[in-house]
Amino acid sequence: MAIMTYRRALHDTLRDEMLRDERVLLLGEEIGVFEGSYKITAGLLEEFGPRRVRDTPIAEEGFTGAAIGAAMLGLRPVVEIMTINFSLLALDQIVNHAAKIYGMFGGQASVPLVIRTPGGGGQQLGATHSQNVELYYAFVPGLKVVAPSTPADARALLQAAIRDDDPVLFLENLALYNTKGDVPDDLPPAPIGRARVTREGRDLTLIGYSRTAHVAAQVADQLAASEGLDIEVVDLMSLRPLDRATIVASVRKTHAAVVLEDDWLTYGIGAEVAATISDGAFDDLDAPVRRVAMAEVPLPYAKPLETAALPSTDDVIAAIYQTLDAVGRRHLKVGHD
Amino acid sequence: MSPATRSPRSRAASAGEPTGEHQRLVDFYRRMLLIRRFEERTARAYTQARIGGYCHLNLGEEAAIVGLLTALEPTDYLFTNYREHGYAVDRGIDPNRVMAELYGRTDGVSKGWGGSMHMFDTAHRLLGGYGIVGGQVPVATGAALAIEYRGGREIVMCTMGDGTTNIGAFHESLNLAALWHLPIVYVIINNRLGMGTTVEASSAEPELFRRGAAYRMAAARVDGLDPVAVVAAAEIAVASARDGEPYLLEVVSERLRGHSVVDPAKYRTEAEVADLRAHDPVPALAARLVAQGVLSDEQLEEMDRAALRIVEEAAQFAEASAAPDVSTLFDFTYATPVDNVGTRYPGEPLFPPAPRPEETES
């Protein structure tokens, strides 16, 4: 067991997988000489050389597509796309090719490819550098999309993604890179496609992934201490496949749900989660499912506007209170105090 | 295409003795004829509604296909675009299985999952026809990267249409291949039309092979109506790729019909159509073989009957092949099995409906 940052967990896992499997190679902009825009790949060029750590030109479509072709011939490329915003340049290769090649050719070629890319914003990066468009990929059968929130899950899911024979979009988050957590030394790969109840509770289910799962855990702890609320937290971990059964089982127990997401509300991941709850736990719900998401604007640069557009902890707490009010439970809780 | 851009034709050997070169030409003709008859049979099956979707034919491209594939070894890899039935057949894939794919049947090269635009066969190293213009170019580049990574001696040939040279993926790929010295030959099949748009109307540098210069990549243009010229040019390109230097080969070809089976090509003038017929590479090679005394008219007819038998058998095979069972719908979403994959048919609910209140009361 070691306590390490999310960044360190990613770095060490990449290194371990490269040591374990000669077929693993890294491609991306500035990952070698520059050691990665967020230093995930620091030291790897020096250790493994330019054959296995390839700095690419600024050509997301070209190098992502090249990684797909290399994967078809049996390599296990791990592509770093500097931020998820830039993955849009490679959308054709990811959606029309990586996701399609296995099925479209009748299962004759698989694409064991990992695309690592961080979402996140809120640092005055402006409209084009602050998006969370993972749902574009979560929409597409043939892709797998994972979104770990802790260093341990980052390690376990990155191992799984690299050893998987399908294309996996591995969602990171700028705000998580410096977060710390325990990472067991002999951690096995985590199964893709499963959510986890990271905190058990009876009053309400709080659902998140990546950064928002982190926020959910913090808010649940805070409200347990200050209000005596018993909130259950579900970390989705995998956006495709989506573990609907775990979501529904939790809501059947708590009868209320709030979904946190960093993307826009309309058509977002939260909409899919809410629809899942409607399908699977309609009779168990005591209040409408609430979603906490970004304001529906291109994210502005000016700090007050940016802050107003992004979901805050207070927004989450307000949504929880409103949901419990609708249930009638918060009133009872307060009455007990 | 101006005469100046055509490569010199191979010298005609003296008539009479069947030389090795003559045998080679006869072989080329047999292969070109098979592509021609296969595509004509495909067009017929399409109009009979036995084939669905889009259907792009290689009519006019036969000499280019045969010339290009002659330069490849069986272990080399081939990526093409969506106009690829002829490549599949000439690469040696059983025409029955190519036709069965067009019919959407289980015996098809892609088990009926791909159709006209997505032929694939691992054994023959045809790693796909690709339906998105330019989509195959980065992917093929990556296949070359894998070869280079392993120190293999295979090469990749990646064909594309003239219109593809204006898409970003083309430029990104050529740049990568040149930077990394990848073993790949990019082939532009310039049939002078991207759907209905001419090369001159879409490309600021209409001599498309010159685009290689932007990447310091060796490049050439060749007459795609002459299989002998195409082989010679392709052999140079393949040798370069095998030495670790990518190559851009422009093959000036013809498209005898519309963009796809359903396109009447009204944007072409009668004079243009007449000119196309005059340059049709299949009868041109037949006439050459007869003129040189290599083949008689009777031999030509016998070859034609043989090709027609093969394609008719392919159509019958395809017709008799089973359609995929609907229970296989979820077989090819993921190569590595994963939890919680939806295997829901359109009308089914995500979760079983809740029991009705009266049922729970009893």
Find residues 105-144 of chain B whose CB sits inside 8 Å of chain A: 108-114, 118, 120-122, 127-128, 130, 132, 135, 137-144
Chain A partners within 8 Å of B132 (Cβ): 92, 96-97
Query: B332, A194: Cβ pair inside 8 Å?
Result: no
A35 is catalytic: no
Residue B333 is encoded by which pair of tokens?
Answer: 């979403």
What pLDDT sits at residue A123?
87
Q: Which residues of A touch B108 (CB under 8 A)?
A: 106
Q: How would DSSP label each residue in B28-48?
A: HHHHHHHHHHHHHHHHHHHHT
Contacts with B, A 190-249, CB within 8 Å: 191-194, 238, 241-245, 248
pLDDT tens per residue across span A110-138: 999 999 999 987 889 999 999 999 999 99
Mean pLDDT of B213-236: 98
**CB-based contact (8 Å) between A50 and chain B?**
no
Q: Does A63 touch chain B (CB under 8 A)?
A: yes
Q: For residue B355, what pLDDT is reported?
A: 76
Q: How far is CA A277 from the centre of its chain?
A: 20
Q: Is B246 within 8 Å of chain A by CB?
A: no
Q: Supply the mean pLDDT for chain A.
A: 96
ipTM of the complex as predicted: 0.95
* Structural domains of chain B, count: 1
Entry pTM: 0.95
pLDDT tier at A330 (50, 70, 90 boundaries)?
A: low
Q: Which of A61, A95, A115, A272 to mutate to test the interface with B (most CBs of B within 10 A)?
A: A61
Query: Is the Cβ pair A57, B175 closer than 8 Å?
Result: yes
Across residues B22-50, what is the average pLDDT?
A: 97
Contact flag A142-B331 (C-beta cutoff 8 Å): no
Residue B339 lies inside a defined structural domain of this protein? no
Answer yes or no: is B125 within a domain.
Answer: yes
Name the more confident of A331 and B261. B261
Confidence of residue B3 (pLDDT cuts 50, 70, 90): very low
Q: From B81, B93, B77, select the one nearest B35 (Cα to Cα).
A: B93
**Which residues contact residue B338 at a Cβ distance below 8 angstroms, ignoring those fewer than 6 apart?**
A144, A164, A166, A191, A192, A193, A241
Of the partner residues A25, A62, A194, the one whose CB lies closest to the CB of residue B176: A62
As a whole number of angstroms, the distance between CA B109 and CA B75 comes to: 18
Which residues partner with B158 through β-bridges? B79, B186
Judged by CB atoms within 8 Å, which residues 251-310 of B form the interface with A?
A: none
Instruction: Please state, in angstroms and rounded to a whole number, the distance separating the CA atoms of residues A67 and A167.
Output: 10
Judged against a pLDDT cut of 50, whether residue A321 lies above it is answered with yes
Q: By CA distance, what is A244's nearest residue in B?
A: B340
Q: What is the pLDDT of residue B7?
A: 40
Which residues face A103 on adjacent strands?
none
Q: Do A72 and B143 touch (CB under 8 A)?
A: yes
Question: What is the DSSP secondary-structure string of A136-194?
Answer: HHHTSTT-EEE---SHHHHHHHHHHHHHSSS-EEEEEEGGGTT-EEEE-TTPPPPPTT-
- The reported pLDDT for the residue numbered B14 is 42
Find the CATH number of the domain harbouring B315: 3.40.50.970
Q: Give yes or no: A60 in active site.
A: yes
The nearest CA of chain A is from the CA of B11 a distance in Å of: 41
Closest B-chain CA to A75: B146
Domain ranges of chain A: 2-183, 196-336
**Within an 8 Å CB–CB cutoff, is residue B337 touching chain A?**
no
A144 touches chain B (CB under 8 A): yes
A158-187: pLDDT as tens digits: 999 999 999 999 999 999 999 999 999 899
Of B63-72, B165-174, B331-340, B348-357, give the lowest mean pLDDT range: B348-357
Over residues A261-284, mean pLDDT: 96
pLDDT at B356 over 90: no
pLDDT for B6 equals 39
Whether B129 has a pLDDT exceeding 90, the answer reads yes
Q: What is the pLDDT of residue A336?
A: 42
Contact B333/A at CB under 8 A? yes
**pLDDT for position A176:** 97
CATH number assigned to the domain covering A2-183? 3.40.50.970
Selecting among A60, A134, A172, A272, the annotated active-site residue is A60
CATH topology assigned to domain A196-336: Rossmann fold (3.40.50)
Question: How confident is the model at residue B19, as a pLDDT?
Answer: 77
Cβ distance B128 to A276 less than 8 Å, yes or no, reads no
